[in-house]
Chains A and B, each alone.
Chain A
Amino acid sequence: MIKAKPKPLEEIIDHVKDFNKLLIAGCDGCVTVCEAGGLKEAKILAAALRLYFTQGGKQAQVDDTSLTRQCEKEYLAQLSDRIDNYDAVVSLACGCGIQYLAEMYDKKIVLPGVDTCFLGVNEERGLYSERCQACGRCILAETGGICPIARCSKRMLNGPCGGSAGGKCEVSKDIPCGWELIYNRLKTLGQLDRFERPCEPKDWTTSRDGGPRTIIREDLRI
């Protein structure tokens, strides 16, 4: 899922301090799972902003809500009858949701309330880690089910580099060396021959290097 983290309150205040009517819009999708931007976080942020305005002696209205998913128009439409009541909306959805909200209500100021970070997993509550960079051409069949593009700091396709040591990345001892993981997994699977086969330069056109991406599934389109 998409992983995000709440923006610092000070940064949000800096963006909203001049408004009088604000809507904090959470999203029930990915950001709810990582506890960055669901209804609970929308209510907490709204309460914090109300407190900020009250302490500053300012009468401001801060409401909260959460949409099923901000990356779909049907759910964004739920705001259509009331969005005009607000000067601005702080969206707690991922970067996709924030943009889609702004796209649908193009005269409304829409501000980000989270920093969208990566595609990752929930290792445990409060600990999320990256697993995929959405390169658009999955090679996990070749690499023991562990992605070197997401797990190696240098996205090497023929790792590990000479800087890894003791199974840790040269960037930080807190980062496992992705290629050490791949090597060990291939060994477990009896596929070490794959490790010694040089991997050709990757075609990055399906990654961000090809420009903004679209999937067109004719089989699904009506």
Chain B
Amino acid sequence: MSMETPSKLQKMISAGHFAVTSEVGPPRSADGVVIEQKANLIKDYVDAINVTDNQTSVCRLCSLAACIRIKQMGLEPVLQMVTRDRNRIAIQSDILGAASFGINNILCLTGDHQHFGDHASCANVFDLDSTQLAMTVRMMRDEGKLLGGYEFEVRPQMYIGAAANPFAAPNVALRVSRLAKKVAAGVQFVQTQCIYNMETFKTFMKMAVDRGLHEKVAILAGITPMKNVGMAKYMQKRVPGIDVPDEIVKRMGGVPKEKQPEEGINLAVEQIEELKEVEGIRGFHIMAIEWEAKVPEIVQRIGLYPRPQLAG
């Protein structure tokens, strides 16, 4: 967590507050107004807004353009960037472009394989992976250098983030090692995969804390409220890397259909309350998928509203 940047997210974490982030998924069209509408729903309740990068390999309005729009609204974007679709020339070019607009947060991801998406027959790139992307951003920021060796003056001031998935059972130790590797690559904050299996997550956190990783990287716990039992089942069976225990599916299915959204929010609030007590957690990343309108309620109910105002 060393290098200080102008990132408001970093300042919030450094000040010792629980950080709250959320995400906006860009539309599958050129309608940029949707970004503003979604951002406006959550802006007063979060410290930074992630913009997903062609998530699940479905082609959408680009993350960079959406981040610029959010920045121009006076808000704090987190540029999600996957290495699936760009080689190191395009990646570094986009980072410089983002930095030129004052974007100060980047989430380094490898990206879902394209077979999930709407262009399954495409070629992928994967010139770099997420860890190498983090190394690249660190080099650009701290050394003012591109991978090709060119040195430049005006450096991107990026707070470097990545994802962490503790749920690739059965090997939690591997996931902790992977986190350590990302930290060694320069990652300063991570947003975790959606947490449903609290037991596995706590095991992961204990192992991370025992190694002191929580001192080196700010861990933001990923929360996705369930809309209904159908979503719980879908995530349990279909979404790679997500571990939804049967109890959660039963709980969502145990209330009448019209009450299920409320139950999903209750569950998310309870999860966050429980996670607040877990050593090493520095904040929450609320991924309310096409349900941004519920973020304010969740943040209010977990007692993290209003957001602290940082001096300067």
Q: Please, which residue of chain A has its CB at the minimum distance from the CB of B167?
A: A165
Interface residues in A, total, Cβ within 8 A? 28
Q: Are A200 and B171 in contact (CB under 8 A)?
A: no
Interface pair A180/B129, CB less than 8 Å apart = no
Docked-complex contact A157 and B129, CB < 8 angstroms: yes
**Which of A17-25, A137-145, A148-156 is the interface stretch?**
A148-156
Q: Total A-B pairs in contact (CB under 8 Å)?
A: 98
Query: A116 in the interface, Cβ–Cβ < 8 Å?
Result: no
A192 to B178, CA, bound (A): 11
Residue of A nearest to B162 (CB): A162
The closest CB in chain A to the CB of B243 belongs to: A165
User: Contact: B241 with A164, CB < 8 Å?
Assistant: yes
Please tell me if the beta carbons of B168 and A198 are within 8 angstroms of each other in the complex.
no
Task: Decide: A153 near B127, CB < 8 A? Known: A160-B178, A201-B147.
Answer: no
Do A198 and B181 contact each other (CB < 8 Å), given the known contacts A154-B129, A165-B168, A166-B168? Answer: yes
Scan B164-197; emit 1 where CB is below 8 A from any A CB, else 0. 1101111100100110111011000000010000
Which single member of A154, A160, A201 contacts B168 (CB below 8 Å)?
A: A160
Known: A154-B110, A155-B126, A196-B184. 17 other contacts (CB 8 A): A156-B129, A158-B130, A162-B164, A163-B241, A166-B168, A166-B169, A167-B170, A183-B171, A192-B177, A197-B184, A198-B135, A198-B184, A199-B131, A201-B88, A201-B128, A201-B132, A201-B135
Identify the interface centre among A154, A165, A166: most chain B CB within 10 Å of its CB: A154
Residue B227, interface by CB 8 Å? no
Contact partners of B193 in chain A: CB under 8 A: 162
CB neighbours (8 Å) of A195 from chain B are: 174, 177, 181
Give the chain A neighbours of B185 by CB distance below 8 A.
158, 198
Contact-residue bracket for chain B: 35 or more
Interface residues of B in 183-236 (CB under 8 A from A): 184-185, 193
B178 touches A157 (CB 8 A): no
Tell which of B112, B113, B181 touches A197, judged by Cβ atoms closer than 8 Å. B181
Q: Are A156 and B110 in contact (CB under 8 A)?
A: yes
B240–A165 contact, CB under 8 A?
yes
Say yes or no for B285: interface residue by CB 8 A criterion. no
B229-253 CB contacts (< 8 Å) to partner A: 240-241, 243
